[in-house]
Amino acid sequence: MADMRVSIGIIGAGIMGERLLRAILEQAPDTLRVSGIWDPAPAAMAHIAAVLPAVPRLVDAASVIAASDCVYVASPPASHLGHARAALAAGKTVFGEKPLAVDVADARAFVAEAGSKGAVNFPFASSPAVATLKSWIAAGEIGTVSRVAIEVAFATWPRSWQADAAGWLDKPAQGGFTREVVSHFLFLSRRLVGPLHGLEASVAFPEPGKSERRIGARLFAGDVPVELAGSVGATTKDDHNIWMLEGDKGAVRLCDWSIAERRRPDGTWQRAADALPNAQARPLALKRQLEGVVRLAQGEPHHLATLAEALDVQEIVEAILAS
């Protein structure tokens, strides 16, 4: 009997590649299967062999593409579009890691070429906490929206769990927290409020050859002003972030990736009753992301971040870094 599951191949066996690989193996056995994984680094492939020996380890990116219905591109950002174009040329769909790319002109050309055959992994598209925020907004709890505020901070960059990828994550060509983290909150602003435009920004690169250590920006999501601040070394937390949407009746916010809160009339914040820390919320979001990948591969409507949304985010990210 033919296997009717969607086959997904993974290019890149780093943190994100392994994370999605494990999610496929653990959460979607009836609809999705792993066709194989490849990474140019022998150490990365040896790690997969040691921890997940049953997963096919393929010899190159072309082999992954040939074996798959959908290709998940989890390699460093500068290589995203090359792999994505190869997959599309072979008639496959693409689920790409963010950022879409680092070259804005090339990304624009790619989005025009790809149409609806791709999506980008912004997990806020599937976040239970974001769904809670949306329900509060729809219930009228914030009234007329007046502003978005985004704050991100890190004890060090890269974060402790990313140390093995510092070779590119802490270089200005592909890395930095604006591409890796701020992009998520810009996507959230775009998805919930409106298209991004009207940027005024500043950025600091105090360490030669390293990625940015501080950013500040003002822009708009639709007609709503957005204030953004990010820094390294201003907190003892590995990773701290707040996304807040404020209106004339109240405010809601997302804290540290997964905690939805709403502001009470007395100014205090009330956490959602079902709020989960990120380590527990992430598998739920990944499961729904994979449900979207299946729909993408089958040519059906999906809720994942579209290529056009990802391009809008990338335009702002690269403009901040060039400011």
pLDDT of the chain, 323 residues: tens digit per residue: 467 899 999 999 999 999 999 999 987 678 999 999 999 999 999 999 999 999 999 999 999 999 999 999 999 999 999 999 999 999 999 999 999 999 999 999 999 999 899 999 999 999 999 999 999 999 999 999 999 999 999 999 999 999 888 899 999 999 999 999 999 999 999 999 999 999 999 999 999 999 999 999 999 999 999 999 999 998 999 999 999 999 999 999 999 999 999 999 899 999 999 999 999 999 999 999 999 999 999 999 999 999 999 999 999 999 999 99
Assign residue 207 the CATH number of its domain.
Answer: 3.30.360.10
Structural domain contains residue 1: no
Q: Which of 250, 255, 202, 204 is nearest to 227 (CA)?
A: 202
For residues 142 and 160, state if they share a domain: yes
Whether 295 is covered by a domain: the verdict is yes
User: Would 132 be classed as within a structural domain?
Assistant: yes
Domain that holds residue 114: 6-122+284-304
Residue 54 DSSP class: T
Q: Does residue 234 sit in the same domain as residue 300? A: no
Q: Same domain, yes or no, for 161 and 96?
A: no
Q: Are residues 181 and 93 located together in one domain of the fold?
A: no
Same domain, 146 and 254: yes
CA distance 222 to 147: 11
Does 291 fall in a domain? yes
The CATH number given to whatever domain includes residue 38 is: 3.40.50.720
| 299 Ramachandran zone, left/alpha/beta (phi>0; psi -120 to 50) | left
Give the integer Cα–Cα distance in Å for 9 and 87: 10
Q: Which tokens in the block code for residue 168?
A: 């590119």
Query: Do both 271 and 155 map to the same domain?
Result: yes
Please report, for residues 32, 86, 100, the alpha-carbon distance to residue 53 in angstroms, rounded to integers and kept in the order given: 18, 27, 30
Look-up: residue for tokens 């739920």? 284
Instruction: Identify whether residues 265 and 196 lie together within a single domain.
Output: yes
The C-alpha angle with vertex 137 and arms to 131 and 142, in degrees rounded to 5, equals 145
80 and 202 both lie in a single domain: no
Do 142 and 265 lie in one domain? The reply is: yes
Pair 137, 268 in one domain? yes
Q: Is 103 in the same domain as 249? A: no
Question: Do 96 and 163 fall into the same domain?
Answer: no
Beta strand pairing call for 224-232 and 259-263: unpaired
- How many domains does the structure of the chain reveal? 2
Q: What's the order of all strands across the beta sheet hosting 32-38?
A: 32-38, 6-11, 70-73, 93-97, 118-121, 305-306
Instruction: Please tell me the distance from the alpha carbon of residue 119 to that of residue 72, in angstroms, as a whole number.
Output: 10
Q: Which two tokens stand for residue 111?
A: 């989005």
Q: What single DSSP character describes residue 120?
A: E
**Contact present, 230 and 178 (Cβ < 8 Å):** yes
Cβ atoms of 80 and 101 within 8 Å: the answer is yes
Phi and psi, residue 4, nearest 5° = -90, 0
Residue 316 domain flag: yes
Cα–Cα distance between 162 and 148 in angstroms, integer? Answer: 29
